[in-house]
Amino acid sequence: ACESRVLYVAEWKRPTVESSDSASSPSAVDSTEDGHLFWDDWGEGLTSKSVPVLCVADVGKGTVTVLQGVPPHVSPGQALWAHDGQGVFFVGWWHEPFRLECLCGDTNSVSSPRLSPDGCFLVYLQGQVFGPHGQCLSMQQVQKRTISVLVDVVQRPKKEDFAGLYEALPPRCWAADSQRVVFSSARRNWRDLFVVDRTTRRVTRLSDPEIVGSWKLLTIQNDLMVVHCSHLNEAPRLAVAFLPSAGLEAQVSWDPLDEGRLLGVIVDILDISPTPQEDNPEYSGLDFGALLVTPNHLPSGTKVPLVVFVHGGPHSQFFTEWNVTSAGLATLGFAVLMVNYRGSTGFGQDSILSLTGNIGSQDVKDVQAVTLDPNKVVVMGGSHGGFLACHLIGQYPDFYKACVVRNPVINAATLLGTSDIVDWRYSCMGLQYSYDQLPTPEALTTMLQKSPITHAPQIKAPVLLLLGGKDRRVSPHQGLELYRALKSRGSPVR
C-alpha cells in the first residue's frame, strides 16, 4: 500500500525571521526566533537535531509532505506505516522541560515498534525511565488496543538459558505467520539468535551450536532469515536459513554463504565468581565473564604481553564476535583480556542493578580479579572503560606498565554540567534524579569520591589520552583534568 511513498523523520527548518505561516510549523518552534538563541538538541549522535517532524515523500508525484497532528510536547521518531498505509505508528519523546536522550514518559521508555505482516499485532521494547541506559528490556505486544507482556525482564538467568533482551529489534523481525518474532540478544559472553512465539510466549534459541560464535539478525523476509555471525578468531560472514513452522524451530538448518576466515589466535571463554569478600550482599551469588585472546604464532615459551581492554557503558559488553581491535593487537603479538564485569549486559537485570552505586569499586575489582599476571600488563578503554582504566592504574599503581584511554570519565562531579545524559550521572552513583535536580554538596562529594581523579597522585604508569573535541557524552575537559593533575606531579602523560 505504501510502495510509492517513503515515510521518514527530518529536522524542521528553523525560521530566522517573522513568518506569516507560523501556524503551520510545529508549536515547539517560535517563528520569531533568531540565530543567536540557544536551541536544545538531542545530544550525542543527534547534535543540532532539535525539532524532528514526520515526512512523506511521494515518489510518483515528486512531493514531500510534513504530517500534522503530532502533539506539541512530543518529538516523533522510529515511524512506520500502518498496515493499510493510511496511518503511521511512531515513538514520541518528551522534549519538555528539556531534551534528555530518549525518554518517553514518566516511568517507561519505549523503542523499536514493529508491526506484524497481517497488521493485527504490534510489538515494542520497554524499559524504565531514569534507570540504567543499557538495562534488560521487556517486549510488549498490542492487540486491539490491549497491551500485554510477550517477553519479560529476566532478573537472574541460569547459565545456558535465555538471559533477556538488551538491544533494538531489526526493522524486519516478524515471521510470515504473524505469530513469531525473531531477534538477537546477549547471553552471557555471547550474542545469540532467538524466536518468541506470540501465543505460547516461549523463547527458543535458533543459533546453530555447530557454528561457534555470536549471531546477529540482519533481516527476515518471507521467513528467510539473514544473519551475521563471527567469532573472536573468525572474520564475519553471512548465513541464511528459512524459519521452520511454529513448534519445529529446533529443525532450522543454516547455510553459511562463504567460508570462515580464521585468525591465528586461541580464544578462552571464562566464567568467574567473585570471592566471598567481593560478593555484593544485595545481589549475592552473581558471576561474570571474560574473553582471553592469545596469539598462537609465537615461539613456544614466549612471554606474551597482556592488554586489558575494558568496555564502556558501563552496561554493555564484549561479545565472542569479531573485534578489529583485539584482532590487530593479537596479530602484533599481544594477548587481549576483555572482562564482562558485573553490570555488563547478558547476565540478567540483577547483574546490571548490582553496579548502581558501586562504580569505581565493584567493576574495578572484577577486572583486577581476572588480571592475575603482573608481567607486562597495559590497560586501555574509552568512556566508562577509560574511567575503569584510570581507576586501575590509580588503585594498583605498581601493576600496570602503561595506559591508553579515549575520552575517559575522570571526575563525575565536574562532568555533571557538561554531559548530555545528566540523569545517568546521578543514577550510576546510586542517587535519585529528577528534571529539576540541583547538585548538592553531598551528591557532588559522592561523585568525586567514586572518580579516578582521587587516585591521580598514586598513578605511575605512562598515560596516553585520546580526546575527541566534540564528544557530547564525555567532554574532552575530563581528560585534560587528568592531564594537568599528572603533569603537575611529573607523571608521564601525553
Omega into 97 within 30° of 0, i.e. cis?
yes
Q: What per-residue confidence (pLDDT) applies to 3?
A: 81
Q: Report the candidate in 375, 427, 423, 364 with the shortest Cα–Cα distance to residue 401.
A: 375
| Rounded Cα gap, residues 120 and 178, in angstroms | 8
| Rounded Cα gap, residues 54 and 229, in angstroms | 35
Q: What per-residue confidence (pLDDT) applies to 27?
A: 42
- In angstroms, the first-to-last Cα distance of the chain is 59
Q: Return averaged pLDDT per consecutive 10 residues of the chain, 494 residues in all.
A: 86 68 46 70 88 94 94 92 92 84 68 96 92 92 94 95 96 97 97 96 90 91 96 94 96 90 89 96 97 87 90 95 95 95 97 96 96 86 97 96 97 91 87 88 95 97 96 94 96 96
34 by DSSP, 3-state: which? Answer: coil
Q: What domains appear along the chain, each with residue ranges and CATH number? A: 265-487 (3.40.50.1820)
CA dihedral over 242, 243, 245, 251, signed as positive or negative? positive
List the helix and strand counts (H, then E) for the chain.
Answer: 8, 23
Q: Are 310 and 126 in contact (CB under 8 A)?
A: no
Q: What per-residue confidence (pLDDT) applies to 34?
A: 61
| Rounded Cα gap, residues 402 and 392, in angstroms | 11
475: left (phi over 0), alpha (psi -120 to 50) or beta: beta
Q: Report the candidate in 19, 318, 330 with the shortest Cα–Cα distance to residue 190.
A: 318
Please give the full DSSP string across 401-415, using - where no structure is assigned.
SEEEEES----HHHH
Here the cell at position 304 is 606474551
170 by DSSP, 3-state: which? Answer: coil
Q: What per-residue confidence (pLDDT) applies to 24?
A: 46
**Taking the C-alpha atoms of 140, 141, 142 and 143 in order, what is their torsion angle to the nearest 10 degrees?**
-150
Q: What per-residue confidence (pLDDT) applies to 25?
A: 45
Q: What per-residue confidence (pLDDT) applies to 258?
A: 86
Q: What per-residue confidence (pLDDT) applies to 104?
A: 53
Q: What per-residue confidence (pLDDT) applies to 29?
A: 45
